[in-house]
Structures are given as structure tokens and as C-alpha cells.
Amino acid sequence: MDEIPAKRQKIHYGVLDLKLKDQSSAGSTNINLSSGETLDLEDHLSERKQALLAQFEKRRKARQINVTTDDAEVKALLRKNGEPICLFGEGPAERRERLRHLLADLGEVQSKKQKAEEEERQKKKMEEEETTWYHEGPESLKTARFWIADYSVPRASSRLQVERERRNITDSVRNAKRQELHKNLRSLTAIGSQIGDERPISFCHFSPNSKILATSSWSGLIKLWTVPECEPIRTLTGHTQHVGAVKFHPKATISLEDNDCCLASCSADGSVKLWSLDSEKPIANIEGHTAKVSRVAYHPSGRFLGTTCFDCSWRLWDIEVQEEILHQEGHSKGVYSIDFQNDGALCATGGMDAFGRVWDLRTGRCIMFMEGHLKSVLAINFSPNGYQVVTGSEDNTSKIWDLRQRQCLYTIPSHNNLVSGAKYENDTGDYLVTCSYDNTAKVWSNPGYSLLNTLSGHDGKVMAVDISLDGQYIATSSYDRTFKLWGVE
């Protein structure tokens, strides 16, 4: 009778072994339990192995902890950490061991806590780097924002009305006008050339009545010339270093008197000066920049002046009170170029960090980030239609951006050297002019951006370009110390 249970037991284990062999031959290590569940032996063994390894590591760390042999100090440390100072039947040696394991556990928890805090700090740092920073402005900035909003909305409405009227023009009439324009642009030639200074001519800008051309030089001088005769009118002295740009007030030579503030200029020493048309000395200085100021631009209203600085910021000044109302950061390197939309609501800036940004002056927000250039953005200009922006870069290309789609529409491989200037035609934006350090300026159609004409004639780098408001002339200034007027003979 005793042999029968033993045989049954042997047969039972033999069946289990057979099942395991069958499952291993099929590539499975699962065991079917009575409840219908499956136990994965490999996962189970792996979990046990990890638990044992963790326990051994914990013991190893505990052995490395030095614990005092003074039983009173051991009890004090236990009490400090919220543990009982003595357990039933526990001696000093066991108490020291218990404290050692407690300190090991606390060290592991503290290490995890520090790691979590470090990850949180890194996460916050990354978020801060991706966030556009804004300076807290004075109360005058809030007033200026409301003023700009009131100024820009009617102008935007008028611009949209003009665009609606242009849409009603038939394609045949539009194509005929475009062909006539392209014909004139293809026949552009140099109608005037003048040596402007003893050093390179860094910038040129037409007056609003298109009868005066202002040029700035690396000598620190600003000169006024008649158009189209290219005869000197006056030399403005006051800067002591390279003049980066000179700009006419939007109402100069039209409604402003000659003794009013008609021009603004900037220099490599950080100075910004305001000029009248009847004096050779500046009538005011705008102080506050601590680094090179590369460009200035008037707001369409003429009340505000924008300046770009190599301290990674651009600034907005209220000319009426000569006060800085906005000090705006956002670029990671020096800000080089600036332009205002014709409505007065938006401002575009280009930086040495290869990025462009479009700012809403009414809210202070950066509404578009222009990423795509490989090198510095040296030129930026709004189209008269209000929603297109052209940028010229050190990577030898020009890009057309659409504010409505918030993307780059077209990339023009425009020159063989860096693009130093870009300018839309002032009325309808039907063509675009770019200039470069390859000694040329080029005229491009819009839309399509096909090359219409290459303006060659300078012996050095072309540093700036401008188009007169009446559309009759194009001016270029060069490193060869000359400026030229281009037009149809």
C-alpha cells in the first residue's frame, strides 16, 4: 500500500517535466496556472535578481557609512530622525547597525530628491531659454502703445481698401502695367555718380520729396546732395566714428520746417544724433546706448525712432520728449537691421544671430520668428502690402516672408557675396532691389522674383540701396567712396 502513492507522485512529476520540456522546445517559458493566468519565469527571475542586487548594493553602501561608537550619540541621531532609541532586546551593537541602515536609506532618498530637483532646474532653464524676454516698461510705454493702436488701425483700413480696389483691376490691364514697368526697369542705367567722401559711403537715403539724398560715411560725416544733379548741399558734422545709417523724418521736406528735426543718424560709438536741414551741427543727442548702434528707423508717424544695438537689443524712443520708452531684448546676438510696417503697428528686426523677429508694437509680443538664414540678417524691409517682409543675409540669399502664413515663401539666391541691403518699391511693391558686397545691385520682379536688371558700375562693395518715393531713382552707396543714381534716361 505504501508503494502506490509513491508511484503516483513520480508519475505526477514526470508529467510536469514533460510539459516544461514541450514548452521550452516551443521557445516559451510560460507556465499555465489553475486560474488561467500565465507566469513568465524569465521576468519573475529577473525581478528577483534586480531586487537582490539592489539589496546587496544597499548593504554595501550601509557598510561604507561611518557611525559613532558612542551609544548616547547613536540614540540622539535615532531620535532626530524620528526612530525609537531602543527596541526590545536590542543592544548597542544592534542599535548602531540599525542607525547605519537608516542613514543608508535616508541617503538614497536624499540622492533621488537631489536628482529630481536638478532635473527640474534643467527643465526650467530650458523653458527660460525658449521664452522671449520682455523688459517691464514705464507708464509712458503703455500710453505709447495705445497711441500707436489708434494711429495704425485707420491706416490699416485704408491700405486694405486700396488693395480691394486693386483686385478689381482686370488681368489684362494689370499685365500691361507690369510689362511696362519691367521694360523701364530693364533699361535702368547710371544717370549720376559722385565721390561722396574720403572713406567708404556706408548708407544713403532719399528725402520724402525725392529731391535730396543723404549719405553717411565711415569718416563720421553726413552729406546732403541734390537729386538728380548730385551737387553738394551741406555737410553735417558731429559724429567722431563710423556712421552706420542716416534717415529722413517721414514728413521732412513736406510739412516740417527746415529748422525742425528732419534727420536721425547713428554711429559705432553708440551715439544717436538728430539734425535739422538748416544747420551743420546736431540739434539733439539721444543718449543711453552702451554699444555700437548699427541702424536707425523712423516710425511712420515720425513721433518714434527705432534703434538697433549690438547689446542684443533694440530700442524705441519718443522723439517729442527724447525719452526711451522701450528697451526690447529677444535676439541672442547684436541686432543689426530694423524697419517699420507702413501702418505703424509692426516692427521687424534682424540680428547677427541669423534670426529675424516681427514685433507688435501695440502689445509688445513677438508675433513671428523668422528662422532660415544661415548667417547674420543684415537687411530687412516691409512690403507696402503690409504682410510681406524681405530679409537679406550674410549667407548671400534674400528671403521673402509672409506674416499671414508665418513662413518663408521664397528664397532668392541673389548674390555671390553677403546681401547688405534690400528695399521694396514704395508704392505697390511691384519690384525689389537688393545690393551686395559682390559690387552689384539687382532688381527683382514681384511676384515671381525673376531678375530684371543687374546694376553694375561700382568698384567696391555696395553697402546700401534706396528707392525714391516717386519711384524715379535708385541710389547705391559703395565702399569705393562713391554713390550712384540709377534711372531711365
Taking only the tens place, the pLDDT of each residue in 444-476 is 988 888 999 999 989 999 999 999 998 899 999
Average pLDDT over residues 280-291: 88
- The DSSP secondary structure of 313-340, one letter per residue, reads EEEEEETTTTEEEEEEE--SS-EEEEEE
Cβ-based neighbours of 373, under 8 Å, separated by 6 or more:
354, 355, 356, 391, 393, 394, 395, 397, 399
pLDDT value of position 42: 65
E-strand spans in 374-479? 377-382, 388-393, 398-402, 407-412, 419-424, 431-436, 440-445, 451-456, 462-467, 474-478
Residue 20 above 50 pLDDT? Answer: no
pLDDT value of position 113: 63
373/87: higher pLDDT:
373
Average pLDDT over residues 20-44: 51
DSSP-assigned letter for residue 269: T
pLDDT band per the 50, 70, 90 thresholds, residue 244: very high
Angle 354-349-387 from CA coordinates, rounded to 5°: 110
Cβ-based neighbours of 173, under 8 Å, separated by 6 or more:
none
pLDDT value of position 44: 62
Residue 220 above 60 pLDDT? Answer: yes
Residue 237 above 80 pLDDT? Answer: yes
- Grid cell 552706420 in the structure block, residue: 244
Range scoring the smallest mean pLDDT among 27-31, 239-243, 274-278, 412-416: 27-31
What is d(CA 441, CA 450) in angstroms, rounded to the nearest whole number? 14
Residue 132 above 70 pLDDT? Answer: no
Closest listed residue to residue 201, CA positions, set 477, 486, 403, 488: 477
What is d(CA 474, CA 124) in angstroms, rounded to the nearest whole number? 50
456/137: higher pLDDT:
456
Instruction: State the helix-helix crossing angle for 92-130 and 41-64, rounded to 10 degrees.
Output: 110
pLDDT band per the 50, 70, 90 thresholds, residue 38: low
266/117: higher pLDDT:
266
pLDDT value of position 287: 86
Range scoring the smallest mean pLDDT among 6-15, 366-375, 448-457: 6-15
pLDDT (tens digit, 9 = 90+) per residue, 305-351? 999 999 989 999 998 888 889 888 889 899 999 999 999 999 999 99
pLDDT band per the 50, 70, 90 thresholds, residue 247: very high
Tell me if 188 sits within 8 A of 454, measured CB to CB. no
Mean pLDDT of the chain: 84
